[in-house]
A = this chain, B = another copy of it.
Amino acid sequence: MGLTKTEIFTDEQNRLASLFKVLGHPARVAILQYIINQKACICNDLVDELGLAQATISQHLKELKNIGIIQGTIEGKSVCYCIDEKLWKQIQAEFNVFFNQEVKITGCCS
């Protein structure tokens, strides 16, 4: 096993889980925060900033790019990464749809 049974869940559940999953690693949270704090595109200071190997950072960046939350633009021989503001807000909105469900408990817990 070790294989998530995605076929038994709804698309919405799988979608939401895959977004959460990408954000579920401290390196990826740190990368996002670093880009935001620079208030600019960043072209791999990440490797110096975080204590991870270049290959590892590159891999994490790829996962973030996959969900679209960051963009990479080639600038000469380096690549500039920045937050995709539209996606950023959209993902926040998707999470809020989930969290804003009415949680009304009328049973043993109340």
Identify the interface centre among A30, A84, A91: most chain B CB within 10 Å of its CB.
A30
Is A27 an interface residue, CB under 8 A from the partner?
Answer: yes
Is A58 an interface residue, CB under 8 A from the partner?
Answer: no
Is A80 an interface residue, CB under 8 A from the partner?
Answer: yes
Identify the interface centre among A39, A96, A102, A107: most chain B CB within 10 Å of its CB.
A107
Interface residues on A, range: 35 or more
Residues of A bordering B, CB below 8 Å: 4-6, 8-10, 13-14, 16-30, 33, 36, 39-41, 50-52, 71, 73, 75, 80, 82-85, 88-89, 91-92, 95-96, 98-109
3 shortest interchain CB distances as A-B pairs: A21-B24, A41-B107, A82-B109
